[in-house]
Structure 1
Amino acid sequence: MDSREIVMVPRCSPRLLGWLVLGALALPAWAPAEPFPALHDDGPRVGAPASNPFEVPEALASRVRFWRDVYSRYDSNSIVIHDLENFDVIYAVINESAVLGGMSRAERERFLEAEKARINASLQRLASSEARLADLSPEDLEIYKLIRKYDGWRDFVGRLRAQDGLADRFREAVQLSGTYFQQIEEIFASYGVPVELARLCFVESLFRFRATSKVGAAGLWQFMRSTGRDYLRIDHLVDERLDPIASTHAAAKLLRLNYETLGSWPVAITAYNHGRGGMARAIETLGTSDIVRIIHDYDGRAFGFASKNFYAEFLAAMEIVGAPERFFGPIERAEPLRPDTFVLPDSVYLEDLVRYTGVDRETLSALNPALLPSVVSGDFSIPSGYRLRLPRGTVEAFAATYAGKIPADRRFAKVARRATRHVVRRGDTLSDISRLYGVSLQDLRSANSLRSDRILAGKSLWIPQAASAKHAKAPARASSASAVPAAGGYILHRVDRGDTLGKISQSYRVSPTRIREVNGLSGDHIRVGQFLKIPRI
């Protein structure tokens, strides 16, 4: 855990860093799905020993079996068409590459809708009072054999859903989980949260630190911004939702609060998806905290498929993660990382940490996914107080090197902004550029590692801060490549492509209202090349 900030561990090897690169891992091809899958095997043990607080209720067993198969049997090349409420009813498993290969996303969606409509038409014919067994087509007969053993099968009409398989991705998640999973369990235990709940991150993100959803959730624990800000730093520089350690502390706190409010771990788990307030309303409406009753009987407006199945998905993930070899065969997990943590006393640029401390950029980027592109690219310095993750066993040497080698004028009390790049045009000289931006020739050469003043058209130059921080700890207010000192207590800012009044306001820490006032602007419209007066602060 990172509570003591210093924890000892081996230096990150190139092989280990490979586990952190969130691209595709080389995985063996998975077994193709059957056209009509065989009956499920025993699946999760229903009514497990009393020592297991998360035994599978009989009423949820079919849901858990279904999600177990999604996670361990059907790979991402498979699409499962199933009944929306009876999860033992699977009508078809489509091999995507064989059937849908080469289709656009829109064509794929149209095909799936047509396939569901075809199956639904069979269900409608079977549900008709005029249906006769002798008159059934081979396809209708096949579906009839599948559903006839279930009570109320005539109600299956209109209840079809398509689900992508995830087995190969889940296997990869188990491999990747070696990096942090033991530490995650320890963090959960420190908050009094059952360690079994650590499996929720497989449901949420398949153990992807940088996972994002179409609705804006991010990270291992898929926090939305609104909820994440209650526990984490989330801004244009740092998004701690992407830090597996910081976000795990946040998830443990949230789950603990859910439990203390709702009084049931199954309900607290479901609240992670549906919200604490939503589950409190469910309990109040039904007069019970029994998760089975809530799943089957609660019809809250927002309590849809995802919320109804969240607990079953957790139970399925818990079973697989507890014995992955049973589902995937021999499996190699990544080595534990347990990074050291160094709390930055100053705001510094990432490139300066690389240059002066000897830790390579790839390692820092891999261990610090919370640093956003604005920082990694060097446009902004890392904020002071940031918990910098380092390879285990290196923090003491890093601290000594940091104190002894990073120049005082490369450390800032506040976040510094290095200007956007200037693209050299024909006829530009280094002197012209230094005068344009109000920076010295020496600073301009240093920022771009130039040995002479000779520059070529098309070359991209970094423009250092106009008021470069010559004094250690000098407040480094954000400046811009387009900032030029002006008389009368103002800085002139030349509007660049992509600038907005809001961005300029944040850059200079001056309110948009004040910028509008001093420039006589009636609204927020600005144009490229326009000069704005920015009041000095």
Structure 2
Amino acid sequence: MKNLLMLYLLFLSSQLLGQTSTFMEVAFMKPTEKKQSNQAHFNVLKNLVPVSVTTERNVQHNSLVQPFDGMEEFDKGSFTTHTLIEQLTELNSATPFSVSHNATLERFIRVYLKDRREYLNSLLGKSKYYFPVFESYLDKYDLPLELKYLAVVESALNPLAVSPSGAKGIWQFMYGTGTDYKLYIDSYVDERFDPVKSTEAACVYLKHLYTTFGDWDLALAAYNSGPGNVKKAIRRAGGNKNYWEIRQYLPRETSSYVPAFYATMYLFTYADFHHLKASKTDVAFVNSDTLHLKGSLNFKAIQRKTGIDLGLLKSLNPQYKKDVIPYVSGKTMVLALPTEKMVDFMKHETELYQIAVPHSINSSNGVIRVNKNNSYLVKNGDNLNSIATAHGISLQQLKTWNGLHTNFLIADQRLVVTDKKFLPQKTTELSDNYSFRKDSNKKNLVTYKVKHGDTLFKISKLFNNVPIDQLRTANNLQNVNYLKPGMKLIIQKPDKNDNI
């Protein structure tokens, strides 16, 4: 998995690899606090939600800096290498991870302390809000509590973090991994930004990685770069499964990922020794409850009826990207509100659902609220032109109604295909390869699924010699001679008695 910005270390120690990263926010806390009871942890999750005033999802970028010259200048005063070895040995005895001294880890720790003390103090401040959430789920899945530090490495405890590669949220899930681990993502909702749901998904994923590799160092490396890269590095190393000996075969970012994790664990544990103090942060606990919704809602209507601050509403519900909570068939959407706003919401709940009924979410841009009655579920091989033709609408209408600015589609994405309350017609399946429906002119429209070896000429013959130019025009295939198996073509099927 790609972490936010070449990991936390590249953000903190620009000298180590010649690169640095800047986060929207950073935070931390001392890890020596005793573990709370399970019930206390779950009470935190149920009622007290950590929120930040920051609601922007900005992509962060890396910048080049001067390379690191060495660590000799840091090895001064009471914090000697001998002291560090003793502390790491003590830490190793108290954790299931293999924490041992080496020159790489010492460099990471010393650069953190020399150049980024203010950031460390900020992280210490944020961690007291997020760590109870992480620990409760790590305990639920019987995972080492020290894995909470991984979110620091991934996102600097920023629940709205977005990486240049597209990884999102406090645990930095890529789209595919997120959906694999049951995080719901569509045009309006992205549960990767939900700190609680993404934490549970991260626990399930980390447990799977440890089961796969049987070693926490390798599991951490796989979380960053993907299991495939770790398996490839093991093969290139002749079957060696020691992370420190296969680092050279891993992607550059991943080769520093595990040292960054251990440096973070060390600095949290020995924060007092290094005179690190939690600083003030824009994160705070909010006493809240969660509602299961019966229909669509929009944030501005909720704000008007309950008086809640719009920024707080967004912070409590970061998974909703466009200030709209859509209706999704087969899925229950939830809304988190401060407990003192619950009565106001319940009083106006029916009215709020009615406010959300109008089809246009934003009349200024023409986007229409998606629901099961006005939409089409994208399948493998679909393209915008074929979907538009199949539903008797223009390509521009399809893009406008769905707020699309590119032609990129994802299977199982739901697209609005009518500005009416219901689809005017339903598609009737004919076979595994094609289906048809009647259009407004009572002519057959055929949706044909391309098979291996198909050509436009073969398909034309299959459908009573429908003109090839017509096939190209209807499916936007000008200057395209190769048909990819699985793609779908819209064909105006002529009657058998027509003269073609």
* Deviation by residue 1:120-169 (Cα, 9 ceiling, x = unmatched): xxxxxxxxxxxxxxxxxxxxxxxxxxxxxxxxxxxxxxxxxxxxxxx433
| Alpha-carbon distance in 2 for matches of 1:269, 1:211 | 19
Measure how far apart 1:315 and its partner are: 0.8
Structure 2 residue 46 is matched with structure 1 residue 7: yes
- Name the CA shift for 1:474/1:288 in 2 (closer, same or farther; >3 Å): closer
Distance 2:246 2:217 in 1: 16
Q: Which residue of 1 aligns with 2:89?
A: 47
Q: Which amino acid aligns with 1:215?
A: S
Q: Equivalent residue for 1:252? A: 203
CA RMSD, Structure 1 to Structure 2 (Å): 4.6
Note if contact 1:357-1:405 (Cα within 8 Å) is conserved in structure 2.
no
Pairs within 5 Å for 1:39-438: 39=75, 41=79, 42-43=83-84, 45-48=87-90, 50-58=93-101, 61-75=102-116, 167-231=117-181, 232-283=183-234, 286-289=238-241, 293-297=242-246, 299-300=248-249, 303-327=250-274, 329-332=276-279, 334-337=283-286, 339-372=288-321, 375-376=322-323, 381=326, 383=328, 385-391=332-338, 393-394=339-340, 397=343, 400-401=346-347, 403-408=349-354, 410=356, 417-421=360-364
Pair member with larger Rg:
1
Q: Which residue of 1 aligns with 2:415?
A: 506
Between 261-270 and 271-280, report the one with greater CA deviation: 271-280
Q: Contact 1:72/1:171 (CA < 8 Å) preserved in 2? A: no
Q: CA separation of 1:280/1:505 partners in 2, compared to 1, >3 Å: closer, same or farther? A: closer
What is the identity, as a one-letter code, of the residue corresponding to 1:181? F
Worse-superposed segment, 176-185 or 244-253: 176-185
| SS of residue in 1 equivalent to 2:74 | coil
Count residues with an aligned counterpart.
354
The Cα shift of 1:331 comes to: 1.9
Q: Distance in 2 between matches of 1:409 and 1:18?
A: 27
CA–CA separation in structure 2 for the residues paired with 1:2 and 1:367: 19
Conserved 8 A contact 1:342-1:387: yes
The 3-state SS of whatever aligns with 2:192 is helix
TM-fit CA distance, 1:347: 2.0
Q: Measure the CA separation in 1 of the matches of 2:110 and 2:344.
A: 47
Conservation of the 8 A alpha-carbon contact between 2:221 and 2:258: yes
Q: Give the unaligned 5+ runs of structure 2.
A: 1-39, 59-67, 377-390, 428-444, 448-468, 479-500
Alpha-carbon distance between aligned partners in 2 of 1:402 and 1:323, rounded to the nearest angstrom: 51
Counterpart of 2:109, as a letter, is R
TM normalised by structure 2 equals 0.58
Distance verdict in 2 for CA 1:169–1:258, change over 3 Å: same
Change (3 A) 1:513 1:228: farther
SS at match of 1:245: helix
How many Å separate the matches in 2 of 1:230 and 1:464? 29
* Seq. identity, %: 22
Deviations 1:481-514 (A, max 9, x none): xxxxxxxx95678658875666899232799997
SS at match of 1:320: helix
Native 8 Å contact 1:63 1:312 kept in 2: yes
CA contact (8 A) 2:179 2:185 kept: yes
What is the match of residue 432 of structure 1?
Answer: none
**SS at 1:388's partner residue?**
strand
Structure 2 counterpart of 1:484: none
2:336 partner SS: strand
> SS in structure 1 opposite 2:186?
coil
Instruction: Report what 2:439 is aligned to.
Output: none
**How far off is 1:212 after superposition?**
1.8
- Give unpaired runs (5+ residues) of structure 1: 24-32, 76-166, 423-462, 479-488, 526-537
Q: Which amino acid aligns with 1:50?
A: S
